[in-house]
C-alpha cells in the first residue's frame, strides 16, 4: 500500500503544456526490459540537465500530481524519451518557480507510458530510466530553493 501524503501542484502548472521545463537528475537507474543495468553516476545521463516539454498533467484525489512529457535535449542520451514525473515532497500548490517541489519521482522510457495496475502511467517494456529529479523553470528558482533548503538543514548549525 502506498503512503498517502499531500503532494500536489498548483493548477497554474497546467499553463506549462507545450512549454519548456528543466529537469535536473538526482539519482537514476537504468532498466532494459525490467533488468537493471549499471549507470555511470558521472555519465551524461546523470550529469546534465534535460529540457522536458509537458504534454498532459494527471491527477490523484482530484489534485494535480504530475505530468507526462517528452525530453527535447539534442545530444542527451535520453533525447526523445517519454517521461512521467510526479511530485513527492510533503506540500501543496507546488509550481515550477517560487514554490518548487524539491523531489520528483521520474521515469523516462523509449516507449509510450501505459496506465498500470496502480492507476499511474508507467513504462512496461524497452529501456527505462527511473529515479529522482528536480523540475524547474529556470536556474534562479532552483538557487532560491537550495537557499531555503540550506536554512532548514539542522546540520548547518553544527558547522562553525
pLDDT digits (tens, 9 = 90+) for 79-129: 999 999 999 988 889 999 999 998 999 999 999 998 877 777 888 888 899
Within a 10 A sphere around the Cβ of 136, how many other Cβ atoms?
22
Predicted local confidence at residue 148, as pLDDT: 80
Q: What is the pTM of this model?
A: 0.84
Predicted local confidence at residue 86, as pLDDT: 94
Ranges 51-55, 94-98, 115-119, 151-155, most confident = 51-55
Number of H helices, E strands in the chain: 2, 11
Average pLDDT over residues 39-49: 72
Predicted local confidence at residue 72, as pLDDT: 97
SS (H, E, C) 48-105: CCEEEEEEEEEEECCEEEEEEEEECCCCCCCCCCEEEEEECCCEEEEECCCCECCCEE
Average pLDDT over residues 31-43: 68
State yes or no: pLDDT of 153 exceeds 50: yes
Q: Are 19 and 54 in contact (CB under 8 A)?
A: yes
Amino acid at each position: 500500500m502506498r503512503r498517502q501524503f499531500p503532494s500536489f501542484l498548483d493548477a497554474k502548472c497546467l499553463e506549462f503544456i507545450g512549454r519548456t521545463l528543466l529537469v535536473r537528475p538526482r539519482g537514476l537507474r537504468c532498466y532494459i526490459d525490467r533488468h537493471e543495468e549499471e549507470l555511470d553516476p558521472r555519465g551524461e545521463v546523470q550529469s546534465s540537465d534535460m529540457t522536458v516539454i509537458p504534454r498532459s498533467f494527471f491527477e490523484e484525489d482530484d489534485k494535480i500530481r504530475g505530468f507526462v512529457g517528452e525530453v527535447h535535449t539534442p545530444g542527451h542520451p535520453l533525447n526523445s524519451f517519454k517521461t512521467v514525473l510526479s511530485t513527492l515532497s510533503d506540500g501543496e500548490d507546488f509550481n515550477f518557480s517560487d514554490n518548487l517541489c524539491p523531489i520528483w519521482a521520474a521515469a523516462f522510457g523509449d516507449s509510450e507510458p501505459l496506465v498500470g495496475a496502480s492507476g499511474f502511467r508507467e513504462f512496461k517494456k524497452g529501456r527505462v530510466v527511473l529515479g529522482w529529479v528536480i523540475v524547474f523553470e529556470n536556474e534562479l528558482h532552483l538557487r532560491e530553493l537550495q537557499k531555503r533548503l540550506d536554512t532548514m538543514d539542522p546540520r548547518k548549525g553544527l558547522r562553525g
